[in-house]
Structure 1
Amino acid sequence: MSSQSIRVRLPQVFRPAKPWCALAPRFEAFVRELGVPKREDAVRLIVGERYFSSAPHAVGVAATSGTVYLGMGIAEVGLGPLGSLIANLMNHGEIGLSEYCYGIENRDVALDETDRALLYALGKLPRRISLGEDTQLEFASENDRASTPRGRDRLLKHYIGKGADVFDVICKRLIDHAYVSSQLAYNDGGGCALRLSTGEIVRAPGIVVKGPDALTISSTQAAAVALRANGFVANDDELHAADITEAAVCIGGNELAGQAAVDLVRSIWPRVSLSVVKAVDCAPLEPQPRA
């Protein structure tokens, strides 16, 4: 048999270019290949069989698009798997989770206070797909759930009817031709853009959850997720291995979150040219080609 006639069947659960993001049609094909009755069984199998990692990680299904996203802990920037998953959603312009699975093999991971605050901020608590039969890891009762945040306190903004380009707008004062999530216009967390030596630009918004248990995911933390989610840094490599030539940070309305983003860029890529601005004009513009 010639080598040309041999076809290797690779799992269709992710695109090589974006290993942390599985397009919905490919995921549905993966579900069919597995022969499982429900999508949640496929999500459970991905985590249980350690398709992506032997460490605990989170897999979530976007509420609107049905796209399946992955979140893995990034110790260098102090981000856990669930925070990484939500940052990954934000980076792709998603507006919420419908369901998620968090653990490894047949063991669920208990949510900590940071995880709970992030899930509260989604507005609607997603359903958790359990790995173990006897685990009781969700909120003990409806009384334990915080009231749904509204208005500017929402982590993810419903921006319906504006077209797909609303999630990719240009902020020329940040970096020329850098696509920055429109969340910059509404989120006090500011934003970060990183230019690689190959010309690609990674952009990410910061996430600020308001309230008595306020917390932030800085825009540089979210950009670190974007680097790994798009395959610019292998999971086994450290972040400084990414060949970043230029960085820009928008401080935004939350000084602490903005300064945290600046400090993190300087600690990971100390020799990179860094520009810092207080605010940028994020009015949606006509989409332009990426640099």
Structure 2
Amino acid sequence: MNTSCVEGLRGMFAGHHQRRIIAGRVLRLGALVTLATALLSACTATRFAYNQAPTLTYWWIDRHVDLNEAQATTTRADVGAFFQWHRRQELPVYADLLRQWQTMAVDKISATQACAQFEDIRMRLDRSAAETVEPLARLALKLSPEQLENLKQQQAKSNEDFEKDFLRGSPEQRLRKRLDKAVERSESFYGTLSNEQRDLLRGLLQQSPFDPQRTQAERLRRQADLLQTVRDAQAAPTKAEQLVREHIGRIRQSPAPGYHAYNEELVRAGCAQLTTLHNSTTPEQRAKAVTALKGYENDLRTLSARR
């Protein structure tokens, strides 16, 4: 799991779950629906967004591979079936987690507690990813060379966006951009941060082990891995599901030397950052957090009750 998962957990606490995850961090069919769900089940307009998730996910796939009519029909059905499963099986679990977080939010928390919650989220995402294997393998077998070329072009656009966000400008400019986003996420959850809390966030970001060049290299590896997985599946259709499952596994734990250790370091740093900021908040800010979490819990329970 890459750094988007750490920021995803922070986003669940912070009140809007990184709308750019799908477009910017997930250029791989194996995790698309999973992370679309993580995005849409926790954004500000929760009920509306989740109800639109099947359509938005279909559009994402269509933009990346330009589906033909037959593929479109099958993909719409597969995406719809996934979200029916997710609404019934997963949303109640997320709602229970949100209830736990309301209790946690009123007090100080430790990095160990935060990482335990992160592991719960990671486990749920793994479960959702497993549900996508069969339909994604089915789609992979139907993609034409022209559609794979379209996917490569969309990957290149995503790489340009990542470069713009994380690799361009001076170190100070890049830090300022990351700080602005971190403040926005945090204030959408806790309310206005004090100058001291902003300075605290800045210091935490400066100390972060996040390496955008290393992360970009891993993105490129995953993109190439996806294209090769599709080709391998088409060459051995009976092994398509196994190949897709293995591709997802290489997203979960990269084969690149040292990357898994780097990613786990990012997770630990993310947990420490989250708890350090939370523990700096006032009773009033924590009360806002509890209110936000309760609102999300209510939304997810309403959504899960709808069939």
User: TM-score, structure 2 length as denominator?
Assistant: 0.23
- Larger strand proportion of the pair: 1
- Larger helix proportion of the pair: 2
User: TM-score, structure 1 length as denominator?
Assistant: 0.24
